[in-house]
Amino acid sequence: MLMTATATPWLNLADPSDERVEQLADALNLHDLLREDLQQTNQLPKLERYGDTLYAVLNTALYIDKTEEVQFAEIHVLMGKDQVVTITRGNTSAYETARKRMSEEPELNEFGPEAVLYAVLDAVVDEYTPVVRGVGRDISEIECQVFSGDPAVSRRIWGLSGQVARFDRSAHAMQEVLNGLKRGFTTYLVPEQLQTYLRDVGDHLRAVIDSTTHFRDRLRDVLTINATLVSQRQMEEIKKLNEGAQSENEATKRISAWAAIVFVPSIVSGIYGMNFDNMPELHWQYGYLFSIGLMVLATLGLWVMFKVKKWI
């Protein structure tokens, strides 16, 4: 729907079909490459110029704290000499904020289409601040979780690292968009006050980039620390298993040693308890004392041997 609440005509298409985009391209007589760009999604921010038309792709960002996901949306901006067309795909809050600002600050209207582009850029970058806060809060939680020994933290670190990396790429690409606009300040006679506004947006964006860089470093460090702690815990578990196995081995030795000591007298007494008539020493006067002495000596000998070997 075309709205003229601002000095510059501003048309916005929300999630248009390919056919609607083609109709727009035909009406504006857009370049073929620009037609293709308008229909593509999941693009990083960029700035291009096709004749008298300035084309920008901007990424909005929304942090979903529950899933620790940065949800991206796109705003395509077509800025001509006397009109602006935006195409919003996904979240439209930045567009709505910019539209409201242009209505509430009529002094921006005097800057023409450039003011609309500035308002959209400012709204997009402002929405990065809650994302930074949300990510920073979750990284602090992860750092505490690592030292608690929670095994689920590795997956959480990996998932958030991917989200931060994507956010970082988007922020850096937005920086290139602003740099491209700055390079055209003199060529396209951008008013000084609007230049100041855009520099302020750039300052805010640099703070976001500094934060994303810091986040990536923290996540890398906490991932390293977590890997070290996991290795230490695994080594401790292996050590405990080895100690348990060693204790079992010592117990087995003791049982075996005492079993051997008990078994020897049993053999002697068993043999002399068979009561055969023709057994040597069976009717010997000192046979009983001999068998007792033999059992005592054998038992004592085994006990000494196992004691020396530290089996008992």
146: domain CATH number? 3.30.460.20
Separation between Cα atoms, residue 238 and residue 118, nearest integer Å: 61
Residue 212 near residue 167 (C-beta atoms within 8 A): yes
Q: What is the pLDDT of residue 295?
A: 76
- The number of angstroms, rounded, from the C-alpha of 120 to the middle of its chain's C-alpha atoms is 30
The reply to whether 244 falls in a domain is no
The per-residue pLDDT for range 199-218, each reduced to its tens digit, is 999 999 999 999 999 999 99
Q: Which of 69, 74, 77, 70 is nearest to 90 (CA)?
A: 74
> Does residue 283 or residue 225 have the better pLDDT?
225
Residues 295, 230 within the same domain: no
Residues 116, 195 within the same domain: yes
The reply to whether 26 falls in a domain is yes
Residues 163, 286 within the same domain: no
Residues 165, 302 within the same domain: no
> Does residue 239 or residue 159 have the better pLDDT?
159
Residues 115, 259 within the same domain: no
The reply to whether 245 falls in a domain is no
The per-residue pLDDT for range 102-140, each reduced to its tens digit, is 988 888 888 888 999 999 999 999 999 999 999 999 999
Residues 17, 166 within the same domain: yes
Separation between Cα atoms, residue 279 and residue 271, nearest integer Å: 10
The structural domain count of the chain equals 2
Q: In what order do the strands lie in the sheet with 84-89?
A: 2-3, 10-14, 84-89, 69-79, 53-64, 46-50
The per-residue pLDDT for range 240-284, each reduced to its tens digit, is 766 666 666 776 777 777 777 677 777 767 666 666 566 666 666
Mean pLDDT, the chain, whole residue set: 84
Q: What residue numbers bound the domain in which 151 lies?
A: 2-235
**How many other C-beta atoms lie within 10 A of the C-beta of residue 259?**
9
The reply to whether 243 falls in a domain is no
Separation between Cα atoms, residue 163 and residue 142, nearest integer Å: 14
Overall average pLDDT of the 180-188 stretch: 85
The reply to whether 44 falls in a domain is yes
**How many other C-beta atoms lie within 10 A of the C-beta of residue 202?**
19
**How many other C-beta atoms lie within 10 A of the C-beta of residue 16?**
18
Residues 40, 141 within the same domain: yes
Residue 12, CB half-sphere, CA atoms under 13 Å: how many?
18
- Domain end, chosen from 210, 235, 260, is at 235
Separation between Cα atoms, residue 112 and residue 122, nearest integer Å: 16
- Domain end, chosen from 205, 235, 265, is at 235
Q: First and final CA of the chain: distance in angstroms?
A: 94
Q: Which of 138, 178, 183 is nearest to 160 (CA)?
A: 138
Residues 147, 280 within the same domain: no
Residues 214, 298 within the same domain: no
Residues 203, 90 within the same domain: yes
Separation between Cα atoms, residue 256 and residue 260, nearest integer Å: 6
The reply to whether 242 falls in a domain is no
> Does residue 292 or residue 57 have the better pLDDT?
57
The reply to whether 240 falls in a domain is no
Q: Which of 48, 72, 54, 47 is nearest to 124 (CA)?
A: 72
- Domain end, chosen from 235, 263, 280, is at 235
Residues 184, 292 within the same domain: no
Residues 186, 263 within the same domain: no
The reply to whether 125 falls in a domain is yes
Decide: helix, strand or coil at residue 71: strand
Separation between Cα atoms, residue 136 and residue 219, nearest integer Å: 10
